[in-house]
Each structure stands twice: as structure tokens, then as C-alpha cells.
Structure 1
Amino acid sequence: MIELVRTNDLVLIDFLESLLHADGIPVLVADGHMGALEGSIGAFQRRLLVPEDWARRARQVVTEAGLAAELRDE
């Protein structure tokens, strides 16, 4: 799995997850429950992961949505 995005922004994670699912890209949101447990201090960021063979397409979809700045470095 490749980490595409790491953030505390729940709206961004949900949007990107929906966007990638709509394009048929398998997505895993890691640390979602951990982030909910710790409250709002931001200690545990949620991570958006995709399988390695889908990473290039996923990056393209996120970039086309105007959110390239949110992507982690390759």
C-alpha cells in the first residue's frame, strides 16, 4: 500500500476516498479510529492508502481534482 495523503481534515479524507472509489480505485483510510479516539488535538493523522499498482492513477485523480498539494511525496 502507498500512502497518498496524511491529514487531520476529515472532510478532505472523506472527499478523496469518495473520489477515488468513484474511479474504481481501492482505498483504505488508516488510523481513522485512532484519530477519533484521541479527540481533536491532532496527534494521530488519518492516512489515505491505495495499492501500489493503483498509485499512479490515484495521484492523477487527486491532481485533476485540484488537490495535488495534499499528496505525499513519492
Structure 2
Amino acid sequence: MRELIRTNDAVILSFAESLMKDAGIASLIADQSMSVLEGSLGLLPRRFLVEEARAVEARYILIEAGLESELIT
């Protein structure tokens, strides 16, 4: 899996996850359970991961959807 986005914004993560589902690209939002450790303050970012073999395609889809500024370079 390759990390493409790291953010605390649940809306961005949900949107990215929806885009990948529509494209048939496996994705994962990692570190969701960390809120228990941090007390739900939103200090620890969640990581959006996609399957390695389709990471370039996923990046292109996210750019086309206007999420370019959220992508990890």
C-alpha cells in the first residue's frame, strides 16, 4: 500500500475513499483507532493508502477531483 494523503479532515478522507471505490482501487484509511489514544482531539492525522500497483492512477484521480493540495509528494 502507498500513502497518498495524510490529514485530520474526515470529509477529505471520505471523498478520497469514495473516488477509489468508484474506480475499483483498493484503499485503506490507517490510524483511525488512534483517536482513543489522543482523546479524540484530532491531533494525529489519518493516512489514506491505496494499492501499490495502482498508485499512479489513484493519484491522477485525486488530482482530477481537486485534491492535489492534499497529496503527499
Q: TM-score, normalised by structure 2?
A: 0.90
> Tell me, which stretches of 5 or more residues in structure 2 are unaligned?
none
Structure 1 stretches of 4+ moved >3 Å: none
Q: Give aligned pairs, total.
A: 71
TM-score by length of 1: 0.89
Q: Name the structure 1 match of 2:62.
A: 62
Amino acid at match of 1:45: P
**Displacement of 1:53:** 0.6
Letter in 2 for 1:24: G
**Unmatched segments (≥5 aa) in structure 1:** none
Q: Distance in 2 between matches of 1:15 and 1:4?
A: 13
Task: Please show how residues 1-74 of structure 1 align to structure 2 within 5 Å.
Answer: 1-34=1-34, 36-37=35-36, 38=38, 39-42=40-43, 44-73=44-73
Instruction: Report percent identity of matched pairs.
Output: 46
Please give the alpha-carbon distance, in whole angstroms, between the structure 1 residues aligned to 2:33 and 2:55: 24
How far apart are 1:41 and its partner, in Å? 4.2
